[in-house]
Structure 1
């Protein structure tokens, strides 16, 4: 019997960027691998993380980073997909995109609606989608090596993202959870997960997957 597939669609925090080395965390550290271990052999967890990925922005400096352009072929290539987990928004805060926090939330909501429209298998219904807000960017990111490239105000936009996403996704009937309730960014560049953050993210995602597959209203959960 074919395993049920989960596509984790995100940026460098799904890819597994290690701010301490500038490389990638090993399989044993990344939250997507740990989630696979938690869910067991009935599931296949597919990591679709790309450093620099945005929800809807075309980056004038780098190509191929607009999630809206890639979400449909991505989900079709792994079809049928039981659940798509979208965790984006950190890169959309970059000063060069000139987005407000609400604009970023609107872009993620648009991406989630598009993902939901992809039919899961021949004659299937739309793909189940879960949107997870990434942890808040720390204000000291601006003094790190990536501060100049990110630009000003990223932490402020990040701070309001969960609130804006929650209201928009509730209107669309798309499950949402704010990972910043329980998880923080590292103390190096303040916008990436450290090893402990990956472990916590895996535990959180495991809880969320079990909840969404049982029909639970995740928007009301405060105990995770």
Structure 2
């Protein structure tokens, strides 16, 4: 059986294209590019949703709490060999009034729920990715009307997520060195960033799983 990976995230995992207002195709979206790089011995399940948070119910949009959806998501794709989570951008919205440390607590809850889930083929393998920070210009863009003051706390996530990863003994990657935000809404990845992030994440997945025997 192929090694089975769930990539769980928000609009930057779904593949939002700020230029068109639509979605990048499969040749661009980083989970699908990573799948291609990983090759035929892997099966990648792309689980991105625009607006998704770690654990918060949005008052204006239904079904966006990652904590509420993570278990059925993992169960539907089980048995699993690895879970990759890149969330936190939407938790930065001003209306949630959270600090970077607060958002990390949401990620902690999400990871703990996944660790305890009866979905793993062998043992849990989880990678937390701190998303690239939201640029300050976002707050003055059209998207900024929804996001509010969001940039400063987004720069805190990598430090806080690393602490969570160390506590829970899971993997950690800071996406910031590998990605750039577009110059339209300043919070979604450029096309080139999808490709660079895919390469890095596929390397981490291979380093984590390639030496592990897959049980059928």
TM tier relative to shorter chain: over 0.9
From 103, 127, 132, give the equivalent of 1:130.
127
For residues 88 and 186 of structure 2, the distance between their equivalents in structure 1, rounded to whole angstroms, comes to 14
Aligned partner of 1:162 among 158, 166, 170: 158
CA contact (8 A) 2:81 2:122 kept: no
SS across alignment from 2:35: helix
What CA distance in whole angstroms lies between the structure 2 residues aligned with 1:205 and 1:187? 24
Distance in 2 of aligned mates of 1:120 and 1:211: 21
Deviations 1:164-215 (A, max 9, x none): 1111220111111101122222221111011101111111111111222268
Which residue number corresponds to residue 89 of structure 2? 90
Matched, 1:178 2:174: yes
2:141 corresponding residue in structure 1:
144
Q: Which runs of 4+ in 1 moved over 4 A?
A: none
CA distance in 1, matches of 2:105, 2:177: 21
* CA-to-aligned-CA distance 1:31-79 (integer Å, 9 cap, x gap): 1111111000110111000000000101000000000011011000000
Q: Which residue of 2 aligns with 1:220?
A: none
TM value normalised by structure 2 = 0.94
Report the aligned-residue RMSD: 1.3
The CA distance in 2 between the partners of 1:56 and 1:126, in whole Å, is 24
Unaligned runs of at least 5 residues, structure 1: 216-224
In the alignment, the residues of structure 2 paired with residue 3 and residue 133 of structure 1 have an alpha-carbon distance, to the nearest angstrom, of 27
| 2:214 aligned partner | none
Q: Given that residues 81 and 123 in structure 2 are in contact (C-alpha distance below 8 angstroms), is that contact kept between their aligned partners in structure 1?
A: no
Task: Note the alpha carbon deviations across 1:148-172, whole angstroms, 9 max, x for none.
Answer: 11011x1101001100111122011
Unaligned runs of 5+ in 2: 212-216
